[in-house]
Amino acid sequence: MKTTILAAALLPFLLACGDDVVNYSAPVGINQKLRSADVDVGAGNAVLLSKSINTEQGNPYGAFVNAATQTLGRAPSRIVVSYLSLELLGTSTGVTTLNEVFTGQVAIGFDLDGFVYPVGTVTNPVGVGVPMAVTFDSAGLGPVAYADLVGGGFPVVFSGTATSAFATSSATADLKATFGFMAYK
């Protein structure tokens, strides 16, 4: 499984060497803590968490946008997520695999201009790390939503359904989503 995640992590760099012109790419991770107390048991064990992308130590997304702007000579005209992975970190308590935390579909999105744009999904994740099916391309965003994306102060939204065992325990799932961002001139 770690080989799959590593291969997905290298994909944008490999693509940058091919015929398609990718002007700048970089991975960006964001950590999110899910406590069993965060699960809405009354809503079918629903999970809904949100965290601003610029709150990680060193602001890796801000660094990505700044580096892309320097490389391109101006702000990117388009940003795409080429891959997305979800990982359960070893600092979690009471759970050791994603399938102990989630059942059904897990989704990650970006809250831009008050609307959550889908980025990626995975159904019934198993193990400690999984690639997600990616759907995000900024080409269809309106100007305000795109300004939010480039500005880098937007929330990343995690949603899904927790397993009954997780919802009724005192477990903590330390999650990491890693995005492969690609910026175009």
Query: Over the stretch 153-183, which tens digit does the pLDDT of each residue have?
Result: 999 999 999 999 999 999 999 999 999 999 9
pTM to 2 decimal places = 0.87
CATH number of 135's domain:
2.60.120.260
Report the C-alpha gap between 19 and 11 in whole angstroms. Answer: 14
**CB 153: neighbour CB atoms within 10 A?**
12
pLDDT at 9 over 80: no
Checking DSSP bridges between strand 78-88 and strand 172-184, what pairing results, if any? Answer: antiparallel
Query: What residue numbers bound the domain in which 147 lies?
Result: 2-184
Structure tokens at 106: 């897990």
Q: Which amino acid is at 142?
A: G
pLDDT at 4 over 90: no
The number of domains in the chain is 1
pLDDT tens string 75-87: 999 999 999 999 9
